[in-house]
Amino acid sequence: MAADTIAAVKEFVMSRSFDAPRDTVWQAWTQADRMAQWWSPKGFTTRIARLDLKPGGMCHYCMKGADGAEMWGKSVYRQIVPPSKLLSVISFSDANAGMTRHPMSPTWPREMLTTIELTPEGANKTQVTVRWIPINADAEEIKTFDEGREGMKMGWTGTMDQLADYLAKVKP
């Protein structure tokens, strides 16, 4: 298999601190029943169809809007370093885990190299840093990514809000 081509564009980076120990945050990212409670923008529910937490394994999920519309995605794991790092390739998907295009942005990159880092901040706080960069993308996809930073920020902020709400409900 050929090596990935990393896009010649500045990566998207977002960090946020959560009031929860790192192990609790790690479980939220790596256990299907927990992830299903927060992994979506506000107004959506998520069903985890498959979560195989190992290099080469996949998290295949479906987000459903209030109108019943479904949007599938998948994350193929490349590196897992418990409880501090997940490296995966995220893409839009279909119900059979095939790769598809973004349903509302046909020039969005098909594959996003995604790094999730969990850093403890004392005993009961954790900083989550998300790094996102297109891989194997053409010029138009790179341009769409670069111009889409405000939308990425809004999307990830909503998802992180959901994570914060979930973590506030669980006990470590």
Asked if residue 62 is part of any domain, the answer here is yes
**What predicted TM-score, i.e. pTM, was given to this entire model?**
0.93
Can you give the length of the chain in residues? 172
Q: What is the pLDDT of residue 172?
A: 62
Whether residue 1 lies inside any domain: the answer is: no
Into how many domains does the chain fold?
1
Strands 12-18, 126-135: parallel, antiparallel or unpaired by DSSP?
A: antiparallel
In a domain, 4, yes or no: no
Residue 7 placed within a domain: no
Q: Is 39 within a domain?
A: yes
Model pLDDT, residue 5: 86
pLDDT, tens only, 115-127 = 999 999 988 999 9
Domain membership of residue 25 (yes or no) is yes
> Is residue 21 one of the residues assigned to a domain?
yes
Domain that holds residue 136: 12-169
Which pLDDT does position 79 carry in this prediction?
A: 98
Give which of 46, 115, 41 is closest to 77, Cα–Cα: 115
Do the domain assignments include residue 109?
Answer: yes
Give 127-145 pLDDT, tens digit per residue: 999 999 999 999 999 999 9
Q: Catalogue the E-assigned strands of the chain.
A: 12-18, 44-51, 58-65, 70-81, 85-93, 99-100, 111-120, 126-135
Give the Cα separation of 63 and 45 in Å (integer). Answer: 6
Report the CATH number at residue 162: 3.30.530.20
The pLDDT tens digits for 40-94 are: 888 889 999 999 999 999 999 999 999 999 999 999 999 999 999 999 999 999 9
